[in-house]
């Protein structure tokens, strides 16, 4: 895969915070269009710092970030932020306008779209995340699960080609978590999901990256990486419960793709559901915020 073929490429990225903390060191990776990548790692591994680099919120101190083959520079920053949408962990940080519709419209308006198209996008995206009836409500008055979906809607409305999510299921109850996973599984987009939620990563992603101490320590098929118990343990992670439920008592192989991995784009059963039942395929609904035009 050449740089031009990749949705995102990171080359030898390094970042040190002003207090001296080394957050990233020599991180290199490539994500192909349409791939679903789990970014795994313990607290302080550098996941959020890496995310901050993917659309230029943090400037690379060393190395380079390329979006669809274009180097991320001051000149390409605005385009990069339209192309790579980042959903941050705390939805309260993303819902800063006085009501939900304005929050969702914030990105499209910054893209310079006319009010009619902004309105269409807002309507489509809010319907998609199941918040169509709450457009006039202030973000503050939503439940936490609704806020998480609203935060996702604010980014989907910009029709990014790559969607980067930081802990999309953190602090959600099981039902809200399930709804979020179904929502994400239905998106037809390149996904990069930074998470501790191993079940989410197992369900959603084809590929897993493990970051620890600011370094990329593993990169491979999710079905191989995430069932490597020794690797997971070494880096403060664990084998997904879904994998354990499906294969109780099994010692997972240390390498190679797991033979019974769910195919991409499917949602497997959850603990409490019938173990081993095939997951229901969720049809991709296209990129929800887009209306056909090239946002770039």
Which residues are near other proteins by CB under 8 A?
A: 52, 55, 57, 78, 81-82, 85-86, 88, 90, 92-99, 101-102, 105-107, 109-111, 115, 118-119, 122-123, 126, 132, 135-136, 138-140, 154-155, 158
Name the minimum Å distance from CB 116 to other proteins: 9
User: Toward other proteins, which CB reaches closer, 94 or 211?
Assistant: 94
User: Toward other proteins, which CB reaches closer, 136 or 251?
Assistant: 136
CA distances from 58 to 14, 51, 186 (A): 11, 9, 30
Name the minimum Å distance from CB 143 to other proteins: 14
User: Toward other proteins, which CB reaches closer, 41 or 289?
Assistant: 289
Please report the DSSP string for 40-61 in residue order.
E--TTSSHHHHHHHHTTSS--S
Name the minimum Å distance from CB 141 to other proteins: 9
Name the minimum Å distance from CB 120 to other proteins: 9
Residue whose entry in the numeric block shows the structure tokens 């229901």: 280
Name the minimum Å distance from CB 240 to other proteins: 29
End-to-end CA, the chain: 22
User: Toward other proteins, which CB reaches closer, 132 or 275?
Assistant: 132
What sign does the CA torsion over 92, 96, 102, 103 have? negative
Q: Which residues pair with 27 in a beta bridge?
A: 13
Q: How far apart are CA 190 and CA 42, in angstroms?
A: 23
User: Toward other proteins, which CB reaches closer, 88 or 202?
Assistant: 88
Residue whose entry in the numeric block shows the structure tokens 């784009």: 265
């Amino acid at each position: 895969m050449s740089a031009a073929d990749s949705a995102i490429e990171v080359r030898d990225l390094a970042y040190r915070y002003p207090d001296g903390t080394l957050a990233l060191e020599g991180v290199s990776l490539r994500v192909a269009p349409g791939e679903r990548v789990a970014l795994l790692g313990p607290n302080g591994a550098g996941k959020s710092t890496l995310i901050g680099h993917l659309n230029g919120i943090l400037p690379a101190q060393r190395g380079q970030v390329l979006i669809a083959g274009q180097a991320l520079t001051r000149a390409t920053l605005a385009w990069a932020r339209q192309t790579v949408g980042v959903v941050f962990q705390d939805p309260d940080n993303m819902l800063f306008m006085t009501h939900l519709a304005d929050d969702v419209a914030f990105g499209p308006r910054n893209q310079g779209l006319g009010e009619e198209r902004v309105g269409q996008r807002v309507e489509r995206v809010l319907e998609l995340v199941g918040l169509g009836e709450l457009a006039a409500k202030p973000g503050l008055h939503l439940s936490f699960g609704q806020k998480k979906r609203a935060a996702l809607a604010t980014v989907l409305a910009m029709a990014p080609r790559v969607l980067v999510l930081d802990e999309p299921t953190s602090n959600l109850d099981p039902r809200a978590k399930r709804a979020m996973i179904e929502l994400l599984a239905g998106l037809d987009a390149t996904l990069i999901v930074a998470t501790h939620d191993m079940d989410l990563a197992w369900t959603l992603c084809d590929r897993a990256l493990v970051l620890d101490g600011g370094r990329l320590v593993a990169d491979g098929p999710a079905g191989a990486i995430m069932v490597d118990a020794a690797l997971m343990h070494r880096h403060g992670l664990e084998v997904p419960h879904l994998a354990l439920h499906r294969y109780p008592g099994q010692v997972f192989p240390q390498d190679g793709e797991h033979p019974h991995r769910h195919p991409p784009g499917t949602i497997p059963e959850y603990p409490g559901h019938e173990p081993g039942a095939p997951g229901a395929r969720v049809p991709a609904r296209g990129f929800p915020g887009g209306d056909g035009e090239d946002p770039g």
